[in-house]
């Protein structure tokens, strides 16, 4: 159920509706917008009688939501969500660049990459301290020691830190040191982890499961939102297909598809999405061209010596060149967007 308030509804009227929702044992999710506030209702086992709400002061209409996702949908929030990551924004029309090594390997390694990332004008630094590795015998990250290095990167370079939590207990640690919790592809349907992230004060970067449909992905975001955390960035990182020329098949069509139904920002991970460094820049360009709110890439001083994902990692020179190119493309797309809005409006 979705309750749309009138444009003139007062805060007192909004609070009144929230109280009625809660008195019925449901959860209210007020979403203030530019023109009106809408209130999502979750926790109801079946359909709720519209009659409870229709005649409350300030209510324009109460509607049943037939889609499986409620809070992630544009129906609830027609304006795009802007996600605040430690003071830097994703989804505000700029092109967010999240760059860094696959894994934090040492302070020297992390600092060398952070210097280049900062110099490029990117605001976000990535790097795993807890790595979900396919084989139990490969490097799984430095753990809390890696998080401490990330916290130092944040301090020294002023970059916002995005890092993965693998389970509920690592969310506790990530909250202590980072600015954004990454939930990886393998964990997209780890529902206890999603709920825990939903109770966090930190924004969440939710990667698409490697075999997840759009609906499953949005429902995963719904788990986080249903707990009260509305600050989510979706990340397309490629899906499994028959193709063998790349590690994954980057599903660029997912970007306009998500934007059509959801208010959440969506970014493209051109590193995991391809698995081959020579494909990263072309697909990052494509991500900017297709209207992504941001890009994620992996960078290392010596990719061939990286402890994980070296094959998809950019050198410093490649990274700097890539940033210039995607910025130029984003500028064209942003201008075209403004022109299109004028022509169609």
Of Mn ion, ligand PEP, none, which one sits near residue 185, judging by CB under 5 to 8 A according to partner kind?
A: ligand PEP
Of the listed pieces 7-15, 169-177, 183-191, 284-292, which binds ligand PEP according to CB under 6 A? 183-191
The answer to whether 319 and 123 have CB atoms below 8 angstroms apart is no
Rounded Cα gap, residues 14 and 184, in angstroms: 36
Give the residue among 137, 139, 211, 150 at the shortest CA–CA distance from 176.
150
Distance between CA atoms of residues 75 and 227, nearest Å: 19
Among 72, 109, 170, 185, binds ligand PEP (CB under 6 A): 185
| Residue 184 interacts with ligand PEP (CB under 6 A): yes or no | yes
- Write down the least CB distance from residue 309 to Mn ion, Å: 4
Q: How far is the CB of 131 from Mn ion (least distance, A)?
A: 8
Q: Does residue 167 touch ligand PEP according to CB under 6 A? A: no
Q: How far is the CB of 128 from ligand PEP (least distance, A)?
A: 5
- Contact between 68 and ligand PEP by CB under 6 A: the answer reads no
Q: What is the DSSP letter of 166?
A: -
The two structure tokens encoding residue 303 = 């990719």
| Residue whose entry in the numeric block shows the structure tokens 């049943």 | 64
- HSE (side-chain half, CA atoms, 13 Å) at 6: 13
Q: Does 300 interact with ligand PEP (rule: CB under 6 A)? A: no
In the list Mn ion, ligand PEP, none, the entry touching 132 (Cβ below 5 to 8 angstroms by class) is ligand PEP
Shorter beta-carbon distance to Mn ion: residue 179 or 269: 269
Q: Which of 111, 189, 169, 103 is nearest to 139 (CA)?
A: 103
Closest by CA position to 168, among listed 188, 193, 191: 193
- Which of these segments, 70-78, 97-105, 166-174, 233-241, binds Mn ion (CB under 5 A)? 97-105
DSSP state of 285: H
93 binding partner (options ligand PEP, Mn ion, none; Cβ < 5 to 8 Å by kind)? none
Residue 39: CB minimum distance to ligand PEP, A: 33
Secondary structure (H, E, C), 265-280:
CEEEECCCCCCCHHHH
- Bridge partners (DSSP) of residue 39 are 3, 30
132 interacts with ligand PEP by CB under 6 A: yes
Q: Does 166 bind Mn ion (CB under 5 A)?
A: no
Of residues 214 and 322, the one with the C-beta less far from Mn ion: 322
**26 Cβ contact list (under 8 Å, min separation 6):** 41, 42, 43, 44, 48
Can you read off the two tokens belonging to residue 323? 């940033």
Q: State which residue, 3 or 180, has the beta carbon closest to ligand PEP.
A: 180
* Minimum CB–partner distance for residue 272 and Mn ion (Å): 6
Chain residues binding ligand PEP by CB under 6 A are 102, 128, 132, 164, 184-186, 207, 237, 269, 272
């Amino acid at each position: 159920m979705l309750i749309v308030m009138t444009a003139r509804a007062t805060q007192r009227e909004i609070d009144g509706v929230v109280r009625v929702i809660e008195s019925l044992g449901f959860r209210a999710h007020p979403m203030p917008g530019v023109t009106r506030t809408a209130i999502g209702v979750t926790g109801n086992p079946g359909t709720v009688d519209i009659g409870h709400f229709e005649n409350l002061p300030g209510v324009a209409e109460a509607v049943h939501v037939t889609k499986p996702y409620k809070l992630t949908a544009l129906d609830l929030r027609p304006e795009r969500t802007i996600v605040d990551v430690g003071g830097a924004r994703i989804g505000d029309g700029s092109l967010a660049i999240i760059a860094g090594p696959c894994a934090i390997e040492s302070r020297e390694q992390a600092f060398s990459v952070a210097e280049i990332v900062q110099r490029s004008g990117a605001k976000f630094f990535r790097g795993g301290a807890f790595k979900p590795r396919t084989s139990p015998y490969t490097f799984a990250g430095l753990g809390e020691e890696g998080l401490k290095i990330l916290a130092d990167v944040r301090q020294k370079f002023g970059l916002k830190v995005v890092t993965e939590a693998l389970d509920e207990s690592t969310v506790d640690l990530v909250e202590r040191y980072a600015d954004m919790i990454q939930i990886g592809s393998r964990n997209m349907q780890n529902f206890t982890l999603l709920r825990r992230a939903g109770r966090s004060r930190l924004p969440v970067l939710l990667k698409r499961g490697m075999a997840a449909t759009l609906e499953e992905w949005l429902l995963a975001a719904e788990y986080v939102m249903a707990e009260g955390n509305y600050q989510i960035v979706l990340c397309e990182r490629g899906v499994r297909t028959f193709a063998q020329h790349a590690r994954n098949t980057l599903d660029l069509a997912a970007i306009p598809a998500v934007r059509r139904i959801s208010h959440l920002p969506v970014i493209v991970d051109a590193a995991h999405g391809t698995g081959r460094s020579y494909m990263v820049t072309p697909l990052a360009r494509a991500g900017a061209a297709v209207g992504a709110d941001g890009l994620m890439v992996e960078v290392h001083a010596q990719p061939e010596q990286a402890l994980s994902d070296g094959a998809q990692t950019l050198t410093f020179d490649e990274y700097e060149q890539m940033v210039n190119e995607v910025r130029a493309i984003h500028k064209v797309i942003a201008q075209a967007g403004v022109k299109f809005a004028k022509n169609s409006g």
